[in-house]
Amino acid sequence: MKRILEADSPAPSDPTFSRAVVDWQKQHGRHALPWQGTRDAYRIWLSEIMLQQTQVAAVIPYYARFLLRFPDVATLAAAPAEDVMAHWSGLGYYTRARNLHGCAKRVMELYGGVFPSDPLLLAELPGIGRSTAAAISAFAYGTRAAILDGNVKRVFARVFGVEGYPGEKRIEDALWLQAVALLPADSADAQMSAYTQGLMDLGATLCTRSRPECQRCPLQPRCIAFATDRVDELPLRKPKKTLREKSTAMLVISDGSHVLLEQRPDSGIWGGLLSLPEIALNGEPALAHAALQLSTARFGVAASVEKLLPFTHSFTHFKLHVSPYKVVLARRLNEVGERAHVWLDIGRIAEAPLPAPVKKLLLALFTEGRLI
């Protein structure tokens, strides 16, 4: 079978491809996920956004809790941003939560609370790209539209022996041409839903990055990677870049019953979440101590300062080295002086919209009785 090399080369259609995927999905695919068995575009959209860069097992409990608080798009659109972030806290990639909230508002403003069926219109909404728009439209409305998420890219790269990194624009364009060409000719709702879900299921359960189960795959007879013994090699991985490293000092400032938090900007890491105040502690220990004292003086009179164990948190593009300091105040100023800062009751840490590593640190200190 011809390999996909150029974005402008014609992509061959093959009705037997979609038939193999649909037949396999109906018999062996996933059918019991919480967001399956519904045509509710809101629930389908929510699941698709949560599943971006996140495994199904991690999404399921968040999905259930989110729907309890925000059962429909109108409720989500009307909710305070901090409430949305709190229910997303721990799921990561927080831009998704901000876009989710913004998208709900746009659907209410533009479409009266009804998600459009046209993938082109869906793709114009915040946080919904071409592939996600196609998946929502296919599952909710049976639209004949091609998806191309990370799992599907891997399936196509192996089956068609695609050379190059799938995230490269030239290769991705070629994969999109192939994805469109392979759509089932039968545009019946059930056919499109089964085909779309089947591609997702194949990538998630059989054609995995490591230890793929080729013997169970319905596409194995036509798979170039299998025939040429290149399953472990394809798709080519993204060229590695050296991760940048950053350092910061976080202040755990407590008055015995509350902990001081600050609102992070909407953009950047942990955007829109509450977190611990940060300061730069460069230079000699004496200078660092002076900087620490000066920073905490804005919030009260420190009774004790303790350096906690440092930790490192890895992001996609860099590593953040954190040096936390616990400061217990003898007397707290009534006003923190800045709108971005709030005092949170330590008993509410678990429900607060905090970054996962910050929440983990605070919960550990609270459990050990070290915030008083």
pLDDT at 187: 67
DSSP 361: H
Considering the segment(s) 15-227 as one domain, its CATH architecture is Orthogonal Bundle (1.10)
Q: How confident is the model at residue 338 (pLDDT cuts 50, 70, 90)?
A: low
Query: Among 40-44, 109-113, 269-273, where is mean pLDDT lowest?
Result: 269-273
Separation between Cα atoms, residue 325 and residue 358, nearest integer Å: 12
pLDDT at 1: 42
Diameter over CA atoms, the chain: 75
Separation between Cα atoms, residue 285 and residue 32, nearest integer Å: 57
Task: Quote the percentage of the chain above a pLDDT of 90.
Answer: 74
CATH topology of domain 244-367: Nucleoside Triphosphate Pyrophosphohydrolase (3.90.79)
Separation between Cα atoms, residue 159 and residue 283, nearest integer Å: 56
Average pLDDT on 124-151 reads: 97
Separation between Cα atoms, residue 137 and residue 139, nearest integer Å: 6
114, pLDDT greater than 70: yes
Query: Among 68-77, 128-137, 333-342, where is mean pLDDT lowest?
Result: 333-342
pLDDT at 333: 80
Q: Which two tokens stand for residue 147?
A: 């998806």
Q: How confident is the model at residue 339 (pLDDT cuts 50, 70, 90)?
A: low
pLDDT at 165: 94
Separation between Cα atoms, residue 43 and residue 72, nearest integer Å: 8
Residues present in the chain in total: 372
Nearest Cα residue to 155 out of 217, 103, 238: 217
The model's pLDDT over 39-63, given as tens digits with 9 standing for 90+, comes to: 999 999 999 999 998 999 999 999 9
Q: How confident is the model at residue 319 (pLDDT cuts 50, 70, 90)?
A: very high
Strands 311-314 and 244-254, bridge-based pairing = unpaired
Q: In Å, how far are 54, 142, 238 from 167, measured between CA atoms? A: 18, 28, 7
Strands 244-254 and 318-332, bridge-based pairing = parallel
pLDDT at 71: 98
SS3 252: strand
Query: Among 3-17, 88-102, 193-207, 234-248, where is mean pLDDT lowest?
Result: 3-17
Catalytic residues, by residue number, are 48
Separation between Cα atoms, residue 372 and residue 277, nearest integer Å: 18
Q: Where are the beta strands (DSSP E) in the chain?
A: 244-254, 258-263, 274-275, 278-279, 300-307, 311-314, 318-332, 341-345
What is the residue-averaged pLDDT of the chain? 91
Beta-bridge mates of residue 302:
329
| Domain ranges, ordered by start, for the chain | 15-227, 244-367
Q: Which residues have a Cβ under 8 Å from the Cβ of 244 and sit 6 or more positions away? A: 317, 318, 319
5, pLDDT greater than 60: no
Q: Which two tokens stand for residue 39?
A: 């045509």
Separation between Cα atoms, residue 84 and residue 77, nearest integer Å: 10
What are the φ/ψ torsions at residue 309 (nearest 5 degrees)? -65, 130
Average pLDDT on 310-321 reads: 91
SS3 92: coil
The model's pLDDT over 209-258, given as tens digits with 9 standing for 90+, comes to: 999 999 999 999 999 999 999 999 999 998 887 889 999 999 999 999 99
Beta-bridge mates of residue 244:
318
Q: Which two tokens stand for residue 194?
A: 């089964």
Task: Quote the percentage of the chain above a pLDDT of 70.
Answer: 93
pLDDT at 162: 95
pLDDT at 2: 43
Separation between Cα atoms, residue 141 and residue 137, nearest integer Å: 5
259, pLDDT greater than 60: yes
Nearest Cα residue to 339 out of 259, 263, 258: 263
pLDDT at 17: 97
Q: Would the CATH topology of 15-227 be identical to that of 244-367?
A: no
Q: Which two tokens stand for residue 371?
A: 């915030």
Query: Among 29-38, 99-108, 122-131, 363-372, where is mean pLDDT lowest?
Result: 363-372
